[in-house]
Amino acid sequence: MDETPRLTLPALPDFLPRAPWWGGDLQTISNYLRPRPRLSAAPERLILPLSDGTGDRLAAALDRPAEPRAELPLMVMLHGLSGDELSANVMRSTKSLLAQGYTVLRLNLRGAGPSRPLSRLQYHAGRSEDLAMALDALPPALTANGIAAVGYSLGGNMLLKFLGERGTASPVRAAVSVSAPIDLAATSIRMLKWRNSPYQAYLMREIRTEALMAISEITATERERVRAARTIRDFDNGFTAPRNGFADADDYYAKTSAKRFLDGIRVPTLVIHAKNDPWVPVEPYLAHDWRANSHLFPVIAPSGGHVGFLGRDRTANWHDLAIGTFLEQAFSRP
């Protein structure tokens, strides 16, 4: 029986969109239209070896706060599909967390951003073993006060899966997911809608470039399939699934979707999503029985788009304010 004391979800302000960012689409593209935030100091570069025999390594950016709080854990940030350490949402959250005294590690998943020249293989939504190996490779001095993590979109699915797989053995003390596609099949279907064709075209350009990097360990047949793919589902069916041991896209989605692992999570985890997210449908969130696991704290906002949540408080995006409030309580409890 789980004897972990129940964490009370702190009161969070209602999300109220800031003009002119009304609706899910404008909230979503605000990440691309607004200037990317800058940090006051250059990060340190960490190279983390993966212990799976591939020789692949992950690059990470380590940011230290001007006024560190010694009792706080290391914050690990996981980007989404086609993202990296410089993704706008990762940078905004990093700036917010640095102001609160956290040391932040912006991790580039396998084959993404600065990890590209260090990796022959690529990340996918269920590659939670990469996160496990990366955390194990961190210098002990960085993790002396434990680890917390935030995952965005695909990175959120990976994080939730990781937490559910490890249960009480998780090295992560508290976590937050934002706009995670917890049902990958439902998300792939949503992306096929005509209204989402511009989003899908953009993402396909990015993930095709990642897969076809010169260093990538990829066969001629795989290259042909990558070039032929017109949708994310095509890409997953012809490339992601077979090269990672799945029968097809449906098998990959079924086995790696975070919804299968939510009940195994045993650390305080805030799960943020918006009903009007144009990429990730809300129905899997509404269908899940969140009461079955006292460690999960779902916050389903009526608006906010996909990792948007640009609200009327101009100090930070609404989800970043929620992250700070949640983590403050999670780390201050006895």
Superfamily of domain 23-183+260-332: Alpha/Beta hydrolase fold, catalytic domain (3.40.50.1820)
User: What band does 47 get if pLDDT is binned at 50, 70 and 90?
Assistant: very high
- Write down the residue that tokens 């410089």 correspond to: 86
Give the pLDDT confidence of 170-206 residue by residue, as tens digits: 999 999 999 999 999 999 999 999 999 999 999 999 9
pLDDT at 214: 67
1 has a pLDDT exceeding 70:
no
Q: Supply the Cα-derived Rg of the chain in whole angstroms.
A: 19
User: What band does 3 get if pLDDT is binned at 50, 70 and 90?
Assistant: very low
Contacts of 320 (CB under 8 A, 6+ apart): 92, 93, 96, 97, 309
pLDDT at 25: 97
The stretch 51-79 carries a mean pLDDT of 96
pTM of the model: 0.95
For the four alpha carbons of 190, 194, 197 and 198, in that order, the dihedral sign comes to: negative
Cβ–Cβ < 8 Å for 236, 203: no
- Write down the residue that tokens 């918006």 correspond to: 274
Give the pLDDT confidence of 218-275 residue by residue, as tens digits: 899 999 999 999 999 999 999 999 999 999 999 999 999 999 999 999 999 999 999 9
Please report, for the chain, the start and end positions of each structural domain, with discontinuous segments joined by +: 23-183+260-332, 186-256
